[in-house]
Amino acid sequence: MKKTSTPVLPARTAPGDGPLLAVDDLHVEFATRQGVVKAVNGVSYSLNPGETLAVLGESGSGKSVTAQAIMGILDMPPARIPRGEIRFRGTDLLRLPEDQRAQVRGQRISMIFQDALSALNPVFTVGWQISEMFRVHRGMSRRDATKKAIELMDRVRIPAARQRVNDYPHQFSGGMRQRIMIAMAIALDPEVLIADEPTTALDVTVQAQIMELLAELQRESNMGLILITHDLGVVADVADKIAVMYGGRIVENALVHDIYRSPAHPYTKGLLDSIPRVDLKGQELYAIKGMPPNLLDMPQGCAFHPRCPYRQDNCVTDAPPLYEIGPTRGSACHYWREVFDDSRR
Ligand code: SF4
C-alpha cells in the first residue's frame, strides 16, 4: 500500500512561491434531521500577503462557513468536508495533524467575530483577556503580558489604555469592544486575519473607523485580510478583490474597481443597485426580489434563477460554470455579457 507522508507546516519566514492562502474546490455539508445541507459547493479563492479579499453575500451564502473551515472551528460532525483543499503557505490544512492545526489557529490565521460582546468574556477584564494570548502562547509573566496588552490597546487606539486595562467589556462602547477583539486577533502577529462582518453591529461612523483601523494594521504588518460582509458599500475603499457568493458558490470574482464599474453577474448587479445613493434621493430603494435559496433543496440549474431578471429557459436546467471572462475575472452566469453591457450603460 502506498504510504502518504504527514504534511508539515512551513515556517513563517518560508519563501514559498504560491499564494499565502488558497482555498480550492472546497465543499462543506452538514448532516441535519431534515437532510444534508450543502453549505459550500466548490469554493476557490486565494490571498497574498498584504492583500484584502472581500467575500460578499447574503446570510446562508456560505461565506462564514468557508471562513470557519479555514480556521478549523467547524463542529465535525455534524459538519463534513467531503472535498477540497485549504492550502496555507502550500500545506493543506485539512490534512494537518490536530496539534499542528491548533498552532495555526489564532496564531498564524486569526479571526474577528461579528458580535464582540458575546465573544468577550464578561467576567474578566479586557486586559486579562488580551494578555492571556501572551501568557498561554508565549509563556510570558503576568506583568509582561499586561504590558503587551496595554501596548496593543494603544495600537488599536483605545484612549487611556493604561487606565482602562482593568475595565470589563460592558464598560466599553460597541466600537471600543470591537477594537478589543481586533487587539486579541492581532496579538500574535497572524499572517492571515479573517474579519467576519466586523462592523455590522456598529453605526456608520464607527464602521468607517474600524475599517480604517483594519486597513492601517494590515499595511503595518503586511498580513492578508479576508473581509466577510453582506454590504458592498463597506468594502469599496479597502478591498483589492471581491468574491461574491450565492448558494454556497462563488458567482462572481473580480478586482474591486472592475466590479464597481461593471458587474458581470445579475446578483452582483442587484447588490450594487441596492446601495443607497444620495443622487437618487426620494426614489424607492432597489431590492433583489425573492429569498436566498433553501440549501436543503437547491433550485435546479442556476441557483439564482428564481430571482433573476435576466433568466432564460436554459438557466432553469443548466448550472453555469464560473466562466473566465478576463485575466482576473469570473462570472457564473450564462448571460454575463448582457449584464456587463447593461452595467456599462
Ligand atoms: Fe440569471 Fe441565468 Fe445568469 Fe443564472 S445563469 S444569473 S438565471 S441569467
Q: What is the pLDDT of residue 216?
A: 83
- Most ligand 1 atoms within 8 A of CB, residue of 312, 314, 336 to mutate: 312
Q: Is residue 3 part of a domain?
A: no
Taking each helix axis as running N to C, give the angle between helix 204-221 and helix 174-186, from 0 to 180 degrees, rounded to the nearest 10: 20
C-alpha closest to that of 191 among 149, 220, 222:
222
In terms of pLDDT, which residue wins out, 334 or 196? 334
Q: Is residue 207 part of a domain?
A: yes
Contact 208, 128 (CB under 8 A): no
> How far is Cα 181 from Cα 165, in angstroms, rounded to an integer?
14
Q: Which residues contact 146 (CB under 8 A, 6 or more apart)?
A: 127, 131, 165
Residue 2 pLDDT greater than 80, yes or no: no
> How far is Cα 207 from Cα 230, in angstroms, rounded to an integer?
14
The ligand 1 atom nearest the CA atom of 302: 4
**258 and 147 within one domain:** no
**231 and 290 within one domain:** no
Residue 281 pLDDT greater than 90, yes or no: no
**268 and 235 within one domain:** no
Q: Is residue 2 part of a domain?
A: no
**234 and 255 within one domain:** no
Question: Across residues 317-333, what is the average pLDDT?
Answer: 94
**232 and 99 within one domain:** yes
Please give the distance, rounded to the nearest whole angstrom, from the Cα atom of residue 309 to the centre of ligand 1. Answer: 8
Residue 94 pLDDT greater than 90, yes or no: yes
**Residue 83 pairs with which residues in a beta bridge?**
27
In terms of pLDDT, which residue wins out, 237 or 81? 81
Question: Across residues 83-105, what is the average pLDDT?
Answer: 90
Ligand 1 pocket residue status of 111, Cβ below 6 Å: no
Q: What is the pLDDT of residue 6?
A: 66
Q: Is residue 65 part of a domain?
A: yes
The ligand 1 atom nearest the CA atom of 303: 4
Pick the range with the lowest mean pLDDT from 22-31, 192-201, 246-255, 281-290: 281-290
Q: Which residues contact 134 (CB under 8 A, 6 or more apart)?
A: 140, 144, 145, 148, 149, 187
The ligand 1 atom nearest the CA atom of 312: 2
What is the domain-level CATH number for residue 40? 3.40.50.300
> How far is Cα 30 from Cα 75, in angstroms, rounded to an integer?
9
Ligand 1 pocket residue status of 334, Cβ below 6 Å: yes
Please give the distance, rounded to the nearest whole angstrom, from the Cα atom of residue 256 to the centre of ligand 1. Answer: 22
SS (H, E, C) 13-25: CCCCCCCCEEEEE
**253 and 227 within one domain:** no
C-alpha of 103 from chain center:
20
Computed over every residue of the chain, the mean pLDDT equals: 87
> How far is Cα 87 from Cα 153, in angstroms, rounded to an integer?
32
**212 and 269 within one domain:** no
Nearest CA to ligand 1 atom 3: 333
Question: Across residues 303-329, what is the average pLDDT?
Answer: 94
Q: What is the pLDDT of residue 279?
A: 67
Residue 188 pLDDT greater than 90, yes or no: no
The ligand 1 atom nearest the CA atom of 334: 5
**Single residue among 211, 239, 267 that ends a domain in this structure:** 239
**190 and 48 within one domain:** yes
Q: Which three cell numbers stand for residue 14?
A: 518560508
Please give the distance, rounded to the nearest whole angstrom, from the Cα atom of residue 59 to the centre of ligand 1. Answer: 20
Quote the number of domains for the chain. Answer: 2
Q: What is the pLDDT of residue 286?
A: 78
**254 and 226 within one domain:** no
Please give the distance, rounded to the nearest whole angstrom, from the Cα atom of residue 336 to the centre of ligand 1. Answer: 8
The ligand 1 atom nearest the CA atom of 266: 6
Contact 297, 250 (CB under 8 A): no
Question: Across residues 283-306, what is the average pLDDT?
Answer: 86
Q: ∠ CA 288-203-241 to the nearest 5 degrees?
A: 55
Strands 52-56 and 241-246, how do they pair? parallel
Q: Is residue 67 part of a domain?
A: yes
The ligand 1 atom nearest the CA atom of 267: 6
Q: Which three cell numbers stand for residue 329?
A: 475575472
Please give the distance, rounded to the nearest whole angstrom, from the Cα atom of residue 225 to the centre of ligand 1. Answer: 30
**224 and 276 within one domain:** no
Q: Is residue 62 part of a domain?
A: yes
Q: Which residues contact 39 (CB under 8 A, 6 or more apart)?
A: 28, 29, 30, 60, 62, 65, 248, 295
Q: What is the pLDDT of residue 278?
A: 64
**Single residue among 190, 218, 239 that ends a domain in this structure:** 239
Tell me the residue range of the domain where 274 lies: 249-344
Q: What is the pLDDT of residue 292?
A: 87
C-alpha closest to that of 198 among 111, 114, 287:
114
Residue 230 pLDDT greater than 70, yes or no: yes
Residue 267 pLDDT greater than 90, yes or no: yes
> How far is Cα 256 from Cα 202, in angstroms, rounded to an integer?
24
Taking each helix axis as running N to C, give the angle between helix 126-138 and helix 174-186, from 0 to 180 degrees, rounded to the nearest 10: 10
Q: Is residue 95 part of a domain?
A: yes
> How far is Cα 139 from Cα 135, in angstroms, rounded to an integer?
5
**233 and 255 within one domain:** no
**262 and 147 within one domain:** no
Ligand 1 pocket residue status of 335, Cβ below 6 Å: yes
Q: Is residue 13 part of a domain?
A: no
**Single residue among 239, 272, 291 that ends a domain in this structure:** 239
Ligand 1 pocket residue status of 246, Cβ below 6 Å: no
| String of DSSP letters for 174-224 | HHHHHHHHHHHHHTT--SEEEEESTTTTS-HHHHHHHHHHHHHHHHHHT-E
Please give the distance, rounded to the nearest whole angstrom, from the Cα atom of residue 316 to the centre of ligand 1. Answer: 9
> Using the 8-state DSSP alphabet, how is residue 8 labeled?
-
Residue 1 pLDDT greater than 60, yes or no: no
The ligand 1 atom nearest the CA atom of 308: 1
φ and ψ at residue 263, rounded to 5 degrees: -60, 150
In terms of pLDDT, which residue wins out, 248 or 209? 248
pTM of the model: 0.87
